[in-house]
Every structure is written in C-alpha cells, then in structure tokens.
Amino acid sequence: MSVPLPPAFRYRRVDVGGVTINCAVGGAGPPLLLLHGYPQTHLIWHEVAPLLLDRHTVVLTDLRGYGDSDKPASGPGDPQYAKRTMAADQLAVMAALGFDRFAVAGHDRGARVAHRLALDAPGAVTALAVLDIVPTRHAFEHAGKDFGLGYFHWFFLAAGNGIPEQLIGNDPEFWITTRMRARHHGGTAFDPAAVAEYVRCFSDPAAIAASCADYRAAAGIDLVHDAADAGAGNLVRAPLLALWGEHSFVGRSYDVPAVWRGYATTVSGAALPADHYLPEEVPGQVADALREFFSDTGG
C-alpha cells in the first residue's frame, strides 16, 4: 500500500530551533502552507494538494507532535504545544524554505495553529482559510451539553494523570478509526493508505502524549493568549475564508461566518456537503474554494 502523495512533492526535514518538522513541497507560484488536524498528518491534504500545484508552491507539514515531526516532551502548562509555539514552528519552516509571506489553510487543529499564526505574524500571512472550526475561545465560552457530547474528546484528551495516554495507547487504531468514522458523511471514502499512515504515526506513545498536550494547551495557555488578544482588540487582518461541513457539529451549531467576524476584519465562508473531514470527504470542492479565495485575495 503506497503513501498517497504524488511524486511532484519532495520531502524535507526542517530544523526550527531544535525541533524538526517534516514537510513536503511541490509546485510553483505563490507559497501556500497547508496544516492538518487531529488525528491526521499532512496526508489529509493528499487529494487537495495536487489540485493546487498549478497555481502555488504547496507546503504540507506535520505539526510538532504529529506525523513524522519531532515530539518534544511537554512540561507544566504545556508551553511546548501552545498554538503560539506551534505557529512559530510553521513560520520558521516557511522562512527556511525562502518564503517570508505566504497564504495558509488549516483544518481542525491546524486551523487553530493557522489562526494563531495570522495573529502573531500578520506581516507574513497574506490570506487565511480555516476548515470546520470556530475559534477556541468562542467554543469554550459557549460550551454546553451538546458541545460536551459532540466534542467530548476535547475534555478527555485534556484530562491529567496519564489517563487518555494509557487508554488510547491500548488500541490507537481503534481510537483513530472510530473517531474518523463517526465524523464522516458520505462523499469520498477515507483512503486506506492514508489511514494506515495515521495509525502508524499515532501508534507512537510520544505522539499520543504530544496530542494530549496539544489539547491541554488549548484548554489552558491558549486561552490566556486568546484572552490577551481579545482584550487588546487584536483581530486577524488578513482576508479569512471559513469552510465547514453542513453535517458537522460546527455547521449544525454555529453561524460560522458571524462568529469569525468577531475575530477577523474580512470574512467570507461557505458550507460544503460533508461532515468534519472536508479535505478527504469533498477534496474537489475544497480545492476549488481555496483556489478561488487565494486567487481573489492574492494569496
């Protein structure tokens, strides 16, 4: 079973201050960084990225703690997995590749990293697309029973005392495949080769620990950073495109563009006929939306 990324992409490993980030680069034209979510790797974009090669230099990365990127141990307060730290990784990767300004699109956790990147490095991000999320701060501030049931993994993964690490570690394949199947609605089926890669990478205990630290940071230090931005009136200045699944919890629960207008100055958006995993469920529609948006915004 081959890894589903075409040979137009070349892999590189980039050191960003002692942490090595795995990435694949292909195409030509304005740079576009694509960031994955949980529990995937850069391969969530395997159907979308090839459709963007004719217009962009496409950069796919594994976030720190995920895929084949380094997985530093987390300390108290989880600063190693603060979105600010993870965003700084991506800024450094793009700089190492020779890009000081670039567009970025992120799904799930990668969209949260992309959101932070646009806030912390506004001079670098030309345009931002976020897939199937609302901002972390908004999600926690408006959490209720439905959120707790629909997004129970946010609280489970953030639990302490090694509980999620131990339970997931007993059968990581079961955890990954059941989470993914539960949030898929028709459309393109998951590629078995991609799923096998997700399972391979996530079966590393260090990856499980890192991903839990990611979620603990979201419920802790990330909210501190987000509250500081809110208090300072700091918004995303780059044009922002929000895409979401019409069958996803996000699509059913929020007026997505209205929420993002509280966090960004210029917002557009659209629902797509999918659940959560837009790049794998409706890759053609995602690619079309990204091509149009980045073309219109000069990203």
| pLDDT value of residue 297 | 80
Give residue-wise pLDDT tens across range 176-235: 999 998 888 878 899 999 999 999 999 999 999 999 999 999 999 999 999 999 999 999
Under 8 Å between Cβ of 134 and 254: yes
E strand map for 123-165: 125-131
State the pTM of this model.
0.97
C-alpha closest to that of 212 among 62, 35, 113, 80: 80
Active site annotation includes 108 = yes
Predicted local distance difference test score (pLDDT) of residue 125: 98
Reported as a single tens digit per residue, the pLDDT across 70-90 is 999 988 778 999 999 999 999
Beta strands in 78-122 (DSSP E): 102-107
Instruction: Measure the CA–CA gap between 110 and 188, rounded to whole angstroms.
Output: 21
pLDDT in tens, 27-50: 999 999 999 999 999 999 999 999
Percent of the chain's residues with pLDDT above 70: 99
Kindly indicate the confidence band of residue 132, based on its pLDDT and cuts at 50, 70 and 90.
very high
Q: What values do phi and psi take at 226, rounded to 5?
A: -65, -40
Contact 154, 215 (CB under 8 A): yes
pLDDT at 220: 96
Give me the pLDDT at residue 208, please: 97
Residue carrying the six token digits 């630290």: 213
**Treating both helix axes as pointing N-terminal to C-terminal, what angle do 83-96 and 221-232 enclose, rounded to 10 degrees?**
80
Give the mean pLDDT of 160-187: 92
What are the residue ranges spanned by the domains of the chain?
10-297
Can you tell me the distance from the alpha carbon of 258 to that of 27, in angstroms, rounded to the nearest whole number?
A: 34
- Residue closest to 132 by CA, chosen among 261, 256, 45, 244: 244
pLDDT of residue 222: 97
CA-CA-CA-CA dihedral for 249, 251, 254, 255, to nearest 10: 180
Query: Residue 40's closest CA among 160, 152, 168, 177?
Result: 177
Instruction: Give tens-digit pLDDT for 244-281.
Output: 999 999 999 999 999 999 999 999 999 999 999 999 99
Residue 261: predicted pLDDT? 98
115 is catalytic: no
Q: What is the pLDDT of residue 135?
A: 98
Residue 55 has pLDDT above 60, yes or no: yes
List, edge to edge, every strand of the sheet that includes 31-35: 10-15, 20-27, 57-61, 31-35, 102-107, 125-131, 240-245, 267-272
CATH class of 10-297: alpha beta
Say if CB 13 and CB 21 are below 8 A apart: yes
- Asked if pLDDT for residue 164 goes beyond 90, the answer is yes
Contacts of 161 (CB under 8 A, 6+ apart): none
Three-class secondary structure assignment of 8-28:
CCEEEEEECCCCEEEEEEEEC
Beta carbons of 44 and 194 less than 8 angstroms apart: yes
Among 229, 223, 232, which Cα is nearest to 141's? 223
- pLDDT of 1 > 60? The answer is no
Mean of the pLDDT values across residues 151-155? 94
Average model confidence (pLDDT) for the chain?
A: 95
Quote the pLDDT of residue 2: 58
Which one is catalytic: 89, 108, 132, 222? Answer: 108
